[in-house]
Structure 1
Protein backbone atom coordinates (compact mmCIF):
# COMPACT_ATOMS: atom_id res chain seq x y z
CA UNK A 1 0.00 0.00 0.00
CA UNK A 2 2.79 2.45 0.88
CA UNK A 3 4.53 1.59 -2.36
CA UNK A 4 1.40 2.36 -4.40
CA UNK A 5 0.93 5.71 -2.64
CA UNK A 6 4.59 6.61 -3.25
CA UNK A 7 4.33 5.66 -6.93
CA UNK A 8 1.11 7.64 -7.42
CA UNK A 9 2.57 10.68 -5.64
CA UNK A 10 5.80 10.44 -7.66
CA UNK A 11 3.86 10.11 -10.91
CA UNK A 12 1.72 13.11 -10.02
CA UNK A 13 4.83 15.20 -9.30
CA UNK A 14 6.44 14.16 -12.60
CA UNK A 15 3.24 14.97 -14.48
CA UNK A 16 2.91 18.37 -12.78
CA UNK A 17 6.56 19.17 -13.56
CA UNK A 18 6.09 18.14 -17.18
CA UNK A 19 2.98 20.29 -17.60
CA UNK A 20 4.68 23.28 -15.96
CA UNK A 21 7.81 22.87 -18.09
CA UNK A 22 5.76 22.59 -21.27
CA UNK A 23 3.73 25.69 -20.40
CA UNK A 24 6.90 27.71 -19.76
CA UNK A 25 8.49 26.46 -22.99
CA UNK A 26 5.39 27.29 -25.05
CA UNK A 27 5.16 30.81 -23.62
CA UNK A 28 8.64 31.74 -24.90
CA UNK A 29 8.76 33.67 -28.20
CA UNK A 30 9.93 31.74 -31.24
CA UNK A 31 13.13 32.65 -33.07
CA UNK A 32 11.01 34.05 -35.90
CA UNK A 33 9.21 36.33 -33.43
CA UNK A 34 12.55 37.53 -32.04
CA UNK A 35 13.86 38.20 -35.56
CA UNK A 36 10.68 40.10 -36.49
CA UNK A 37 11.00 42.24 -33.35
CA UNK A 38 14.66 42.88 -34.23
CA UNK A 39 13.74 43.95 -37.78
CA UNK A 40 11.14 46.35 -36.40
CA UNK A 41 13.66 47.78 -33.92
CA UNK A 42 16.21 48.31 -36.69
CA UNK A 43 13.63 50.14 -38.79
CA UNK A 44 12.65 52.39 -35.87
CA UNK A 45 16.14 53.29 -34.64
CA UNK A 46 17.53 56.75 -35.29
CA UNK A 47 19.55 57.32 -38.44
CA UNK A 48 23.26 56.94 -37.81
CA UNK A 49 22.72 54.87 -34.67
CA UNK A 50 24.96 51.81 -35.01
CA UNK A 51 24.23 50.26 -31.61
CA UNK A 52 22.59 46.83 -31.60
CA UNK A 53 19.00 47.22 -30.33
CA UNK A 54 18.10 45.21 -27.24
CA UNK A 55 15.40 43.42 -29.26
CA UNK A 56 18.19 41.90 -31.37
CA UNK A 57 20.16 40.22 -28.58
CA UNK A 58 18.47 36.85 -29.20
CA UNK A 59 19.33 36.86 -32.93
CA UNK A 60 22.49 35.11 -34.11
CA UNK A 61 25.16 37.29 -35.74
CA UNK A 62 24.62 36.15 -39.35
CA UNK A 63 20.89 36.81 -39.15
CA UNK A 64 21.50 40.15 -37.44
CA UNK A 65 23.83 41.27 -40.24
CA UNK A 66 21.23 40.23 -42.84
CA UNK A 67 18.52 42.19 -41.00
CA UNK A 68 20.79 45.26 -40.82
CA UNK A 69 21.49 45.08 -44.56
CA UNK A 70 17.78 44.65 -45.26
CA UNK A 71 16.98 47.75 -43.20
CA UNK A 72 19.69 49.76 -44.97
CA UNK A 73 18.53 48.70 -48.44
CA UNK A 74 14.94 49.49 -47.50
CA UNK A 75 15.96 52.94 -46.18
CA UNK A 76 17.72 53.69 -49.47
CA UNK A 77 14.48 53.06 -51.36
CA UNK A 78 15.87 50.10 -53.28
CA UNK A 79 12.95 47.81 -52.39
CA UNK A 80 9.86 47.86 -54.61
CA UNK A 81 6.23 47.48 -53.53
CA UNK A 82 6.47 43.67 -53.72
CA UNK A 83 9.48 43.52 -51.41
CA UNK A 84 12.02 42.78 -54.16
CA UNK A 85 15.25 44.64 -54.82
CA UNK A 86 14.67 47.24 -57.55
CA UNK A 87 17.83 47.22 -59.67
CA UNK A 88 16.72 50.32 -61.57
CA UNK A 89 16.63 52.36 -58.34
CA UNK A 90 20.15 51.18 -57.50
CA UNK A 91 21.41 52.18 -60.97
CA UNK A 92 19.59 55.52 -60.79
CA UNK A 93 21.23 56.31 -57.45
CA UNK A 94 24.63 55.26 -58.79
CA UNK A 95 24.31 57.44 -61.89
CA UNK A 96 23.11 60.44 -59.89
CA UNK A 97 26.11 60.16 -57.58
CA UNK A 98 28.58 60.17 -60.47
CA UNK A 99 30.27 63.58 -60.98
Structure 2
Protein backbone atom coordinates (compact mmCIF):
# COMPACT_ATOMS: atom_id res chain seq x y z
CA UNK A 1 0.00 0.00 0.00
CA UNK A 2 2.82 2.42 0.82
CA UNK A 3 4.53 1.71 -2.48
CA UNK A 4 1.30 2.36 -4.38
CA UNK A 5 0.75 5.63 -2.49
CA UNK A 6 4.32 6.73 -3.15
CA UNK A 7 4.04 5.81 -6.83
CA UNK A 8 0.82 7.81 -7.20
CA UNK A 9 2.44 10.77 -5.42
CA UNK A 10 5.48 10.67 -7.69
CA UNK A 11 3.29 10.41 -10.78
CA UNK A 12 1.15 13.33 -9.66
CA UNK A 13 4.20 15.48 -8.94
CA UNK A 14 5.75 14.62 -12.31
CA UNK A 15 2.50 15.58 -14.05
CA UNK A 16 2.32 18.92 -12.27
CA UNK A 17 5.94 19.75 -13.08
CA UNK A 18 5.59 18.74 -16.72
CA UNK A 19 2.34 20.63 -17.32
CA UNK A 20 3.03 24.03 -15.86
CA UNK A 21 5.62 26.75 -15.97
CA UNK A 22 6.79 28.51 -12.87
CA UNK A 23 5.46 32.00 -12.33
CA UNK A 24 8.96 33.38 -12.93
CA UNK A 25 9.07 31.62 -16.31
CA UNK A 26 5.63 32.96 -17.18
CA UNK A 27 6.72 36.50 -16.28
CA UNK A 28 9.91 36.19 -18.33
CA UNK A 29 7.95 34.95 -21.35
CA UNK A 30 5.42 37.74 -20.92
CA UNK A 31 8.13 40.37 -20.62
CA UNK A 32 9.63 39.21 -23.92
CA UNK A 33 6.22 39.24 -25.60
CA UNK A 34 5.14 42.75 -24.57
CA UNK A 35 5.48 45.24 -27.41
CA UNK A 36 4.06 48.54 -28.62
CA UNK A 37 0.73 46.82 -29.40
CA UNK A 38 0.29 45.64 -25.80
CA UNK A 39 -2.23 47.48 -23.65
CA UNK A 40 -3.99 46.89 -20.36
CA UNK A 41 -6.68 44.94 -22.19
CA UNK A 42 -4.71 43.69 -25.22
CA UNK A 43 -2.40 41.11 -23.68
CA UNK A 44 0.03 38.97 -25.65
CA UNK A 45 -0.81 35.26 -25.42
CA UNK A 46 2.27 34.68 -23.24
CA UNK A 47 0.73 36.99 -20.61
CA UNK A 48 -2.76 35.47 -20.42
CA UNK A 49 -2.10 33.44 -17.25
CA UNK A 50 -0.53 36.25 -15.22
CA UNK A 51 -2.52 38.17 -12.64
CA UNK A 52 -3.64 41.67 -13.63
CA UNK A 53 -1.19 43.20 -11.12
CA UNK A 54 1.77 41.23 -12.49
CA UNK A 55 0.85 42.11 -16.07
CA UNK A 56 0.36 45.79 -15.19
CA UNK A 57 3.82 45.85 -13.56
CA UNK A 58 5.50 44.35 -16.63
CA UNK A 59 3.56 46.67 -18.96
CA UNK A 60 4.60 49.72 -16.91
CA UNK A 61 8.24 48.58 -16.92
CA UNK A 62 8.09 48.29 -20.71
CA UNK A 63 6.56 51.78 -21.02
CA UNK A 64 9.14 53.37 -18.71
CA UNK A 65 12.07 51.66 -20.40
CA UNK A 66 10.94 52.88 -23.80
CA UNK A 67 10.24 56.39 -22.48
CA UNK A 68 13.82 56.60 -21.16
CA UNK A 69 15.23 55.27 -24.44
CA UNK A 70 13.51 58.15 -26.25
CA UNK A 71 15.25 60.77 -24.07
CA UNK A 72 18.41 62.53 -25.27
CA UNK A 73 21.61 60.67 -24.33
CA UNK A 74 22.76 63.33 -21.85
CA UNK A 75 19.43 63.06 -19.99
CA UNK A 76 19.73 59.27 -19.95
CA UNK A 77 23.25 59.64 -18.51
CA UNK A 78 21.97 62.01 -15.82
CA UNK A 79 19.25 59.54 -14.78
CA UNK A 80 21.71 56.65 -14.92
CA UNK A 81 24.24 58.47 -12.72
CA UNK A 82 21.50 59.49 -10.27
CA UNK A 83 20.42 55.86 -9.99
CA UNK A 84 23.66 54.38 -8.65
CA UNK A 85 26.46 56.93 -9.10
CA UNK A 86 27.83 55.38 -12.30
CA UNK A 87 27.22 55.49 -16.02
CA UNK A 88 26.49 51.82 -16.53
CA UNK A 89 23.07 51.63 -18.23
CA UNK A 90 21.43 50.67 -14.92
CA UNK A 91 18.29 52.61 -15.88
CA UNK A 92 17.53 50.91 -19.19
CA UNK A 93 19.89 47.96 -19.09
CA UNK A 94 21.65 46.48 -22.06
CA UNK A 95 20.84 43.45 -24.15
CA UNK A 96 23.51 40.83 -24.56
What TM-score range do you get, normalising by the shorter chain?
0.5 to 0.7
Which runs of 5 or more residues in structure 1 are unaligned? 1-9, 86-99
Which runs of 5 or more residues in structure 2 are unaligned? 81-88
Q: Distance in 2 between matches of 1:48 and 1:54?
A: 12
- Please give the secondary structure, in 1, of the residue aligned with 2:49: coil
Matching residue within 22, 28, 34 for 1:36: 28
Matching residue within 19, 26, 29 for 2:10: 19
* Mapping of residues 12-91 of structure 1, within 5 Å: 12-27=3-18, 28-42=20-34, 45=35, 47-50=36-39, 51-76=42-67, 77=69, 81-82=89-90, 84=91
**Runs of 4+ deviating beyond 4 Å:** none
Count the aligned residue pairs. Answer: 72
Aligned-residue RMSD, C-alpha: 2.2
Displacement of 1:73: 1.2
Bigger Rg over Cα:
1
TM-score scaled by length of structure 2: 0.62
